[in-house]
Structure 1
Amino acid sequence: MPAALSLLQQRHSVPSRQLDEPAPDEATLHALLEAAIRVPDHGKLVPFRLIRMQGGAKLQFGERLAAIAIRNDPDMSEAKREKERLRYTFAPLVLVVVARIDADSKVPEIEQKLCAGNVAYNILLGAYALDFGAQWLTGWAAYDREVAAILGLAEHEHVVGFVHLGTPQIEVPDRDRPALADLLSTWAP
């Protein structure tokens, strides 16, 4: 079986809490991201960009998000407050994948978002190929405009996901996968 197909068949996410140092070094990360941005892009719009979070910036980001969450739910338990605060601190590197939607383009918005989603997925595939672990997460913060402002996003930009990267600290068992027979049909006129 070709190595690329084997990679697709074996790829799995590693929970962000199970990712630790090291993250990809600068040269490896650059190569990974150069590969990740090679996605189908109808109209050559490049409807995506990336934001890197490392070190203390991840905790500062989490603290700002926790403040928003607490303001929205003042009765939030202390455990949930701490979870919000620390959510981005486990993996050594978090990449925010951002969709940049051009509403004036003939390319439908869904295709632009899917293009950005492909970047996120390519990061997962590339990380796995390089023996790193990764997890693509969203959560409420991906859809909150106040969080978008914290990230410096323009009105036409949206978070597609937070991709947590690092070295797996556990062997992650594969999860049950759907049967292809339940998903594939043949159309006939």
Structure 2
Amino acid sequence: MDQFAEQLIHGRTHISPKRLGDPGPTEAQKETILLAANAAPDHGRMLPWRFIEIQNSSRANLGEVFKLSLLDRDPNATAAQQQEAYEKAFRGPLLLLAVANYQDPNDDISKQEKLISLGCAIQNILLSAYAYGFGSGLSSGRALQSDRIRTLFRFTKDEEPICFITIGTVQKNKPGRIRPSLSEYHSIF
């Protein structure tokens, strides 16, 4: 394997969104990072996914939805817990929402294949961001599955929010992840 590809694949690690700060990607870098998604395998050329960029001007609305979703689940959430939920919307300079689209006029392509395509698109984004020297992390949580999120982003019945992707400069990092050995995930039949 090419040394650059090996370093890129094995060097990238998850960075918590709360550890990512400015500067984020420039407009040109962001475009290149997002264009990496379109190299994902896409059986049937159906584009079963999309990415929504959450601009700074929209983060307060997202934070409010995070807070209200918490209160829907836990009416006794403390003010500190509500504030923490709200502040999650402000982490990292580039915040994307990965959305699966299951609508398909061709019923031969399964939901699983569409999710795999989205997963590959996400990995391409993460690797592209890392190639520029940025850290990145994925996040989800129960608010992501709330009706409030569906309403905020006006999802169709065929769309499902999968995860947020945060990209930025690593401000603080934990020691590297211990990766599993090959024998932990590989067998021969």
TM-score (norm 1): 0.92
**Partner Cα distance (2:85, 2:27) in 1:** 28
- Distance in 2, matches of 1:141 and 1:67, equals 9
Contact kept, 8 Å, 1:11 with 1:125, in 2: the verdict is: yes
Deviation digits for residues 108-166 of structure 1 (CA, Å, limit 9, x no counterpart) = 11111121122222211111111011101111122223312211211100112100111
Residue 124 of structure 2 is matched in structure 1 by 122
Q: Contact between 2:46 and 2:104, CA under 8 Å: does it hold in 1?
A: no
Residue in structure 1 matching 2:163, options 161, 182, 186 = 161
- Aligned residue for 1:16? 17
Match of 1:174 in 2: 176
1:114-153 maps to which residues of 2 (within 5 A)? 114-153=116-155
Match of 2:45 in 1: 44
1:52-63 matches, within 5 Å, as 52-63=53-64
Cα pair distance change 1:149/1:7, threshold 3 Å: same
* AA in 1 matched with 2:21: D
CA distance in 2, matches of 1:84, 1:116: 26
Deviation sequence 1:72-102 (CA, Å, 0-9, x none): 3210122211111011212011001111102
Q: What is the total number of aligned residue pairs between the two structures? A: 187
Q: Distance between the aligned counterparts of 2:104 and 2:81, measured in 1?
A: 37
- Report the residue type matching 1:116 in the other structure: L
Matching of residue 112 in structure 1 with residue 114 in structure 2: yes
Which structure shows the bigger proportion of residues in helix conformation?
2
Distance 2:126 2:138 in 1: 8
SS of the residue corresponding to residue 29 of structure 2 reads helix
Q: CA deviation at 1:172?
A: 4.0
- Superposed CA deviations along residues 51-73 of structure 1, whole A, max 9, x for unmatched, are 00121311221112212321332
On the 8 A contact 1:51/1:97 being kept in 2, the answer is yes
Do 1:92 and 1:166's aligned partners in 2 also have CA atoms closer than 8 Å?
yes
Q: Tell me, in whole angstroms, the C-alpha distance in 1 between the residues paired with 2:123 and 2:146.
A: 22
Give structure 1 stretches of 5+ with no counterpart. Answer: none
Structure 2 unaligned blocks of 5 or more: none
Higher relative contact order (CA 8 A, sep 6+): 2
What is the RMSD of the two structures over their aligned residues, measured on CA atoms?
1.5
